Amino acid sequence: MLSGQQKNLLTGRQVYNKVASILTGRRMDMKKGIFIVVCWVLAVLIVGPSFESSFAADEILIGNASSLTGTAAQYGISTYEGLEVAMEEINAAGGILGKKIRILKGDDSGDPRQAINVVQKFITRDNVLLIIGAELTGTTRVTAPISNNAGMVQFTASATGAGLTDNMPFIFRNALPEAYAIPFVVQAAKKKFNLGSVVMITSYNLDYSVDLTKIYEKALSAAGIKVPDKISYAEGDIDFSAQVSKLKALNPEAVVMTGYYQESAQLMIEMRKQGIRCPILGSNGFNDPKILDLAGKAMEGSVWASGFFPDNPDPKVRRFVAQVQEKYKKKPNQFHAQAYDALWVIADAIKRAGVTENTPANRIKIRDALATTTNFTGISGTHTFKPGKGDAEKSVFILTIKDGKYALLD
């Protein structure tokens, strides 16, 4: 099999031979000959990478739109690591229908504009069979319509915002939608702490946080829990002393945090510093161990929902945890697990569809196979897609931090 560089060299030789035949087969002036050579060289430089994808007939190329840099990099890195573990397992077992998987990384930096560029490149230039990503609600919200309109499956393993798969038959996810998970958190916290009211802390300039605040408000109202006040901050803030001083004056029974892990960790630290010891209700971002690294003891007593519990005694989970720890020297989180399961669900769908070539008709077959996935057992739970729904129905774990470790809420 030829390497990528060899393929490009082969293409360059073909171009050279073509140019040589033109120059030697007819008489022309030197300026015109040089002009043709330059045009052919530019063509190779511009579209050469697309040629490389087309040569990989023995591979299934999958695009991964990830936040590998930027403020959400921890999510994207974990997602790719989970995908890589699954890819290595699948390929070691012979691949899918005799073809190995190759994952093409595309860094969107958590920026919706960059995410659009990444997905458009995957579709128009890289000839991927399907796309896994993006990590964030904001980046998925702007890219999902592009993939859906192109008839390209896009499968997110981490974006949890409301409505991301609605009315888009090519869009799937196995992350727990916040609208599905938050009511479980509220009910569990109400029972555990006998809550009658909470104060909410929201990042006003982060779409994810604003959307999640609305979801929490609905769930709290349904549970009969009052919200006497809300406190806001801006994504990227580092000093939360003023917000926490206001919070302390309210003497809350519990606090709801809806931002990303960086700001949430700093808020927890400031709360404990000012003597606020009440429970904290969180969200999907609490599943990344980085928040525990940052917040430390300040995170004790937090409560949130997860699609994965790393200390689950299930043999499949134990094996996966060991693999990630050996390969990446870290304990896997929900993002690792859901990405790992996503690729296995996709592999199963491609196998059942019986196709690997990237054509519109084949992409429809893969979409249809995904849509009929039923009771697929992964390490983050059993996956089932109901007719007309792109969100997988899965189990929910309610987690907390106890003595510095992840634990199931009693």
Residue 69 lies in a domain: yes
Q: Which of residues 55, 71, 89 is at a domain's end?
A: 55
C-alpha span between 172 and 342 (Å, rounded): 10
As for how many domains the chain has, the answer is 3
Length of the chain: 410
Token reading at 173: 């996810």
Q: Which residues contact 329 (CB under 8 A, 6 or more apart)?
A: none
Banded model confidence at residue 56, pLDDT cuts 50, 70, 90 = low
The per-residue pLDDT of the chain, averaged, comes to 88
Closest CA to 233 of 225, 224, 241: 241
Do residues 393 and 402 touch, judged by C-beta distance below 8 A? no
Residue 318 lies in a domain: yes
Residues 81, 147 within the same domain: yes
Lowest mean pLDDT among 48-62, 126-140, 347-361, 384-398: 48-62
| C-alpha R_g of the chain | 25
Residues 219-251 have pLDDT tens digits of 999 999 999 999 999 998 999 999 999 999 999
Tell me whether residue 406 is in a domain: no
Tokens representing 363 are 């992409």
Report d(CA 170, CA 143) in Å as an integer: 12
Residue 246 in domain:
yes
Q: Does pLDDT of 10 surpass 90?
A: no
User: What CATH number is associated with residue 196?
Assistant: 3.40.50.2300
- Domain C-terminal end among 306, 323, 339: 306
pLDDT (tens digit per residue) in 69-94:
998 898 999 999 999 999 999 999 99
Residues spanned by the domain of 248: 179-306
- 275 and 127 fall within a common domain: no
Does residue 300 share a domain with residue 184? yes
* Residues 85 and 169 grouped into a single domain: yes
Closest CA to 306 of 105, 197, 158: 158
237 and 161, same domain (yes or no)? no
Name residues whose C-beta falls within 8 Å of residue 7's C-beta, 6 or more positions apart in sequence: 51, 52, 55
Q: How far apart are CA 186 and CA 279, in angstroms?
A: 12
> Would residue 407 count as lying in a domain?
no
Residues 221, 232: one domain?
Answer: yes
pTM, full prediction: 0.75
